[in-house]
């Protein structure tokens, strides 16, 4: 449940607000629920609010793990 | 789209699927409940089911605030919308859901009620500023994800001294619903629904963290994987569940590490705690009355509580008899087991909650999954 | 608007004030005010020999052949959107409905229902855009009508256009002709119109540089039927998007369809907006797209010809027709699974969940 997507903060505005960008789409959101967000950070956006931050390093780790799983399986099948 | 497209990659999916087949033991079944509509959506929309081993059985849970809102609460919203001077705002999801006698907010709007679709609680607040002569009521629904924005809106209304803004609060809590399912006799005693493990919600957990699920793993000895909503997230999480079950573990593991921590978003939780408190009980469509499973606005913010301002009282409304939503939400039945499925009950004319939003178990199956049924019966 | 154009302005006293003036009930009541509106705006902008005759009907000489006729009403909010407005849309939409039969569109009628208080400046912009679109398409608006309704009884302006065209000898396109094994083609990216219109809706509050694909497709169709007269059917996926059109065709032809998600052209911005609002781009409206079904041996030459046309640069084969008594439209997802692409159960609304 709960539609939320990761988006990059592209501009900071007054009043705890910011502009986010996803592939050429801009939207103004509220940062009232998160602290210390800076331009370039990725946040998880839900109903116009940043709910939390997305950690790029952890995202890379997950992707590496997925690739590793995917490769082991092909090797096992090949052998 | 960064951090989205990577998690939808078909080549990786194919490899993960092979690994799953290698690791899933052919002599057992894996009955896994995805609690959330978000997972249901990913599974159907990307065709994840086609990639899973045959002995992995996904059960769609009640993770949809639209689906679980009882008719009686919707009737209250309809009654509010009918009042003179009231402008009711809500999320698009809610507009089509039929209340008693099949009347939906969309119908009420067609009949002349002032009902507006908003994208955010903040938009409802904005509307209250723009319409000083009207009572703007925000019909708030949602799990822990959607609750903090509502809380912020109430705090702002207080700070701005708004006199014409109230919230009709229907926020509900995920862990209590999971507990309710695990406690239900068919799961606990009768053993009719063997749920072996759970996919835990992604965005709810961004807010509440992974810690609240630890209790389930301990108390009920069921593994829980907090899982992202992209299809590769779902695949990886299912593999993690298979691994736990194979080795007899029942732990909380976090697959969605890029956004979920153990304690969640502390600031958001603090804001929620400032504005809301637990309701002693709340009725869930499909699950019945669940103790301590929803939030209400604290008396400190009474001015902004639509239930108080407009003297609203809850009367339970009757479900269509024949509707099996309750059993479906608990995983006891599948949508096709319901006699009304795809006959009287369709997305155009939903009889029960599971058919209402596209991520409800019945609607998702109707929209995306029917081909399999037809192919099997053909 | 069938009124003589050659009148002196003095006949009406002062000319219409296109800067600050608004539509009044008298502009629709058949009196002098209405005649003035027709003369100074409609007849002037849309100028053609039929309107100049000033009769209540246009008398047309049609070339030999079967005649295609269609009608459509346009109600859209907002009236002006990136890439067009209700005026150009009312021309393109009706031309396209004619063109989908393979016909060359010739003439249009236009009926306006205008709300009292509507700014004359906006109306002028709409009518001029309509005139421009018609001229570019070499189609004449030969007859018309204006009605004015009280304020609050219409959303600014509604337009109905009816069109006729003539089908080239020997060509027979119809939605019930798709056969298993046929290829399904599209002439470009999906969802542009719907997203452009949504981007203008203030309540959704996002910004994107996508413009509507609103365009008259008859010239592309001319090239297509010349290249592959064996085309079985054409249809423009407007309201309800590609998904709805495919379901219609599948039902009409008593077949199923299987499309490939990875083959469907879509702009990244359109995907992003859909992601943000929880919409499925397959259901988002297009106004300059067509779906073509043709026998497989002609698919490649047809796509090549389409790509040579300015309105078909991103053309692609997106799937094929299958035998299926249940008329399912299925999609192989880019992820590697498959799913049903069902009829839309009602208008897509932005979701939170
Ligand atoms: S098919 Fe309809 S009536 Fe049956 S369980 Fe699902 S929602 Fe209820
Ligand atoms: S349909 Fe999906 S997104 Fe909407 S409330 Fe239900 S689970 Fe949430």
**Each residue of C133-161: pLDDT tens digit?**
999 999 999 999 999 999 988 999 999 99
CA distance B61 to B63: 6
Are B92 and C271 an interchain contact pair (Cβ–Cβ within 8 Å)?
no
Give B186-244 as a DSSP string: HHHTS-SS---EEEEPSHHHHHH-SGGGHHHHHHH---EEE--SSHHHHHHHHHHHHHH
Phi, psi at residue B207, to the nearest 5°? Answer: -85, -50
Q: Count how many domains chain B has.
A: 3
Residues B151 and B76 both lie in one domain: yes
Please indicate whether, in this complex, the C-beta atoms of B148 and A33 are within 8 angstroms of each other.
yes
Residues C163, C59: Cα–Cα separation, whole Å: 14
List, in order, residues 6 or more apart from B135 with CB less than 8 Å away: B83, B85, B86, B87, B164, B166, B309
Contacts with A53 (C-beta within 8 Å, 6 or more apart), sequence order: A34, A37, A41, A42, A43, A44, B259
Measured distance CA(C253)–CA(C329) in Å, rounded: 12
Please give, rounded to a whole number of angstroms, the shortest distance from the CA of A19 to a CA of chain B: 15
Mean local confidence (pLDDT), C284-305:
97
Domain assignment present for residue B19? The answer is: no
Rg (CA), chain A: 17
Is A59 in contact with B3 (Cβ distance < 8 A)?
A: yes
By mean pLDDT, which of A4-8, A45-49, B330-334, C114-118 is the weakest? B330-334
- B1 in any annotated domain: no
**In a shared domain, residues B77 and B144:** yes
Q: Is residue B5 part of a domain?
A: no
End-to-end, the C-alpha distance of chain C in Å comes to 49
Give the per-residue pLDDT at B372: 66
Contacting residues for A75 by C-beta, under 8 A, at least 6 apart:
none
Q: What is the domain-level CATH number for residue B186?
A: 3.40.50.11750
What is the model's pTM?
Answer: 0.90
Query: Do B83 and B168 fall into the same domain?
Result: yes
pLDDT at C230: 96
Q: How far apart are CA C289 and CA C242, in angstroms?
A: 9
Show the CA angle centred on residue B345, arms to residues B339 and B348, nearest 5°: 165
> Looking at this predicted complex, what is its ipTM?
0.93
Strand ranges (E), chain C: 66-74, 80-81, 84-85, 104-115, 140-149, 157-167, 183-186, 206-207, 233-235, 256-260, 291-294, 316-322, 329-332, 338-340
Place of tokens 């609240």: B212
Domains C9-167 and C183-340 are alike in CATH topology: no
DSSP string, C17-35: -TTT-B--GGGGTTSHHHH
Count of CB atoms within 10 A of residue B18's CB? 18
Q: Calculate helix-pair angle for A56-78, B10-23, nearest 10 degrees.
A: 60
Give the integer Cα–Cα distance in Å for B267 and B244. 33
Q: What is the pLDDT of residue A39?
A: 97
pLDDT digit string, tens, across residues C27-50: 988 888 888 999 899 999 999 999
Q: Are residues B230 and B299 in the same domain?
A: no
Interface of A with B in 6-35 (CB under 8 A): 6, 8, 22-23, 30, 32-35
By CB atoms closer than 10 A (0-12, 13-18, 19+), residue C59 is: exposed
Strand order of the sheet with strand B224-226? B56-63, B30-36, B197-200, B224-226, B252-254
Is residue B128 located within the same domain as residue B167? Answer: yes
* Domain boundaries of chain C, sorted by first residue: 9-167, 183-340
Res B176: pLDDT: 87
Together in a domain, B143 and B283: yes
Is the predicted pLDDT of residue C259 greater than 80, yes or no?
yes
Which residues on adjacent β-strands are paired with residue C233? C293
- Which among C268, C334, C353 has the least Cβ separation from residue B8? C334
Q: Is residue B14 part of a domain?
A: no
* DSSP 3-state of C94: helix
Domain span at residue B367 reads 325-377
Asked if B214 and B338 sit in the same domain, the reply is no
CATH number of the structural domain C183-340: 3.90.650.10
What digits encode the pLDDT tens for the residues A30-54?
A: 999 999 999 999 999 998 999 999 9
Q: Is B181 found in the same domain as B168?
A: no
Per-residue pLDDT of chain B (378 residues; tens, 9 = 90+): 999 999 999 999 999 999 999 999 999 999 999 988 889 889 988 999 999 999 999 988 777 778 788 889 999 999 999 999 999 999 888 888 888 888 889 999 999 999 999 988 999 999 999 999 999 999 999 999 999 999 999 999 999 999 999 999 999 999 888 888 888 777 666 556 678 999 999 999 999 999 999 988 888 889 999 999 999 999 999 999 999 999 999 999 999 999 999 999 999 999 999 999 999 999 988 788 999 999 999 999 999 999 999 999 998 888 777 888 878 877 778 888 999 998 989 888 888 778 877 777 888 788 776 766 665 554
Question: C9-167 has which CATH code?
Answer: 3.30.1330.10
> How many whole angstroms separate alpha carbon C220 and alpha carbon C226?
10
Q: Which pLDDT score, from 0 to 100, does residue B373 have?
A: 66
- The verdict on C205 touching B (C-beta cutoff 8 Å) is yes
Residue A69 structure tokens = 């799983």
Structure letter (DSSP) for residue C204: T
Is residue B46 in some structural domain? yes
Q: Which conformational region is residue C152 in: left (phi greater than 0), alpha (psi within -120 to 50 degrees), or beta? A: left
Q: According to the model, what pLDDT value does residue C127 have? A: 97
Q: How far apart are CA C277 and CA C288, in angstroms?
A: 23
Closest partner residue to A70 (CB to CB) among B15, B38, B91 is: B15
Give the β-pairing of B281-284 and C66-74: unpaired
> pLDDT at position B37, please?
83
Ligand 1 nearest atom to the CA of residue B327, by list position: 5
Residue with tokens 């005759």: C53
Interface test with C, best of B9, B47, B53, B148 (most C CBs within 10 A): B47
Same domain, B147 and B281: yes
Both tokens assigned to B102? 């099949």
Contact C276/A22, CB-based, under 8 Å?
Answer: yes
Same domain, B168 and B178: no
DSSP state of C214: -
Q: Which residues pair with B314 in a beta bridge?
A: none
Does pLDDT of C74 surpass 90?
A: yes
**Residues of C in Cβ contact (< 8 Å) with A10:** none
pLDDT at B187: 67
pLDDT score at A1 = 43
Residue in the structure block whose two tokens are 């949602």: B142
* B218 and B334 housed in the same domain: no
Residue-level pLDDT at B351:
81
Backbone angles phi, psi at C148, to 5 degrees: -115, 135
Chain C neighbours (≥3 Cβ pairs under 8 A) are A, B
* pLDDT tier at A79, thresholds 50, 70, 90: very low
Whole-angstrom distance, CA of residue C11 vs CA of residue C32: 9
Q: Which of A6, A7, A19, A24 to mutate to test the interface with C (most CBs of C within 10 A)?
A: A24
Is pLDDT larger for residue C317 or for residue B317? C317
pLDDT band at C352; cut points 50, 70, 90: low
Confidence at residue B370, expressed as pLDDT on a 0 to 100 scale: 73
CA nearest C240: which of C190, C314, C201?
C190
For residue C346 the two structure tokens come to: 């009602």
Instruction: Evaluate whether B41 touches B229 at the Cβ level (below 8 Å).
Output: yes
Let me know whether B165 and B180 are in one domain: no
């Amino acid at each position: 449940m709960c539609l939320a997507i990761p988006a990059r903060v592209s501009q900071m505005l007054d009043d705890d607000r910011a502009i986010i960008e996803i592939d050429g789409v801009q939207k103004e959101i509220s940062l009232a629920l998160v602290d210390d967000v800076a331009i370039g950070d990725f946040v998880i956006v839900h109903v116009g609010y940043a709910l939390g931050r997305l950690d790029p390093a952890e995202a890379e780790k997950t992707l590496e793990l997925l690739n590793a799983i995917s490769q082991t399986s092909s090797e096992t099948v090949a052998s | 789209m960064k951090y989205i497209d990577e998690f939808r990659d078909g080549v990786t999916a194919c490899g993960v699927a092979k690994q799953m087949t290698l690791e899933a033991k052919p002599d057992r079944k894996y009955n896994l409940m995805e609690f959330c509509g978000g997972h249901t959506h990913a599974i159907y929309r990307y065709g994840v089911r086609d990639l899973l081993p045959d002995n992995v059985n996904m059960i769609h849970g009640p993770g949809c605030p639209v689906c679980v809102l009882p008719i009686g609460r919707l009737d209250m919203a309809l009654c509010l919308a009918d009042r003179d001077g009231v402008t009711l705002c809500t999320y698009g999801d809610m507009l089509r859901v039929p209340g008693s006698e099949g009347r939906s907010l969309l119908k009420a709007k067609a009949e002349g009620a002032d009902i507006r679709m908003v994208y955010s609680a903040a938009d409802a607040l904005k509307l209250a500023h723009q319409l000083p002569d009207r009572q703007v009521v925000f019909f708030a629904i949602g799990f822990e994800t959607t609750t903090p924005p509502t809380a912020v809106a109430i705090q702002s209304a207080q700070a701005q001294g708004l006199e014409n803004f109230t919230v009709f609060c229907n926020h509900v809590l995920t862990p209590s619903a999971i507990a309710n399912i695990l406690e239900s006799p068919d799961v606990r005693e009768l053993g009719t629904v063997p749920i072996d493990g759970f996919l835990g919600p992604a965005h709810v957990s961004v807010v509440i963290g992974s810690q609240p699920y630890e209790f389930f793993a301990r108390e009920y000895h069921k593994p829980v994987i907090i899982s992202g909503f992209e299809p590769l997230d779902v695949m990886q999480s299912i593999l993690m569940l298979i691994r736990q079950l194979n080795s007899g573990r029942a732990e909380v593991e976090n697959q969605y590490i890029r956004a979920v921590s153990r304690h969640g978003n502390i600031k958001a939780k603090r804001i929620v705690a400032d504005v809301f408190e637990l309701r002693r009980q709340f009725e869930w469509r499909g699950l019945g009355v669940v103790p301590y499973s929803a939030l209400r606005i604290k008396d400190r913010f009474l001015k902004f509580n639509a239930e108080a301002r407009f003297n609203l009282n809850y009367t339970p409304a009757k479900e269509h008899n024949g509707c099996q939503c309750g059993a479906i939400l608990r995983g006891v039945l599948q949508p096709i087991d319901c006699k009304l499925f795809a006959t009287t009950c369709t997305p155009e004319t939903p009889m029960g909650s599971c058919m209402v939003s596209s991520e409800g178990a019945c609607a998702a199956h109707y929209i995306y999954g029917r081909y399999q049924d037809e192919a099997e019966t053909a | 608007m069938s009124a003589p154009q050659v009148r002196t302005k003095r006949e009406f006293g002062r000319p219409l004030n296109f800067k600050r003036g608004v539509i009044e009930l008298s502009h629709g009541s058949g009196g002098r005010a209405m005649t003035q509106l027709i003369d100074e705006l409609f007849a002037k902008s849309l100028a053609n020999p039929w309107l100049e005759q000033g009769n209540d009907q246009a008398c047309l000489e049609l070339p030999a052949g079967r005649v295609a006729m269609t009608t459509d009403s346009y109600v859209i909010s907002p009236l002006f959107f990136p890439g067009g407005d209700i005026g150009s849309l009312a021309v393109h939409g009706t031309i396209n409905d004619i063109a989908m039969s393979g016909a060359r569109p010739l003439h249009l009628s236009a009926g306006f229902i205008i709300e009292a208080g509507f700014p004359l400046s906006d109306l002028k912009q709409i009518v001029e855009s309509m005139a421009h679109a018609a001229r570019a398409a070499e189609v004449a608006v030969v007859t018309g009508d204006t009605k004015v309704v009280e304020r609050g009884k219409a959303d600014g302006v509604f337009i109905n256009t009816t069109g006729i065209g003539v089908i080239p000898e020997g060509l027979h396109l119809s939605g019930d002709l798709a056969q298993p094994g046929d290829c399904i083609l599209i002439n470009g990216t999906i969802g542009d119109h719907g997203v452009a219109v949504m981007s203008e809706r203030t309540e959704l509050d996002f910004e994107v540089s996508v413009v509507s694909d609103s365009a008259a497709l008859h010239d592309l169709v001319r090239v297509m039927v010349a290249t592959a007269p064996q085309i079985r059917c054409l249809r423009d996926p407007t309201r309800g998007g590609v998904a709805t059109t495919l379901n219609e065709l599948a039902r009409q032809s008593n077949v199923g369809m299987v499309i490939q998600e990875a083959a469907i052209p879509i702009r990244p911005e359109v995907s992003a907006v859909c992601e943000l609002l929880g919409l499925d781009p397959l259901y988002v409206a297009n106004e300059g797209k067509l779906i073509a079904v043709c026998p497989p041996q002609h698919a490649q030459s047809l796509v090549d010809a389409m790509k040579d046309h300015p309105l078909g640069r991103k053309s692609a084969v997106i799937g094929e027709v299958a035998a299926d008594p249940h008329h399912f439209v299925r999609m192989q997802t880019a992820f590697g699974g498959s799913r049903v692409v069902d009829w839309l159960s009602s208008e897509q609304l932005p979701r939170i969940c």
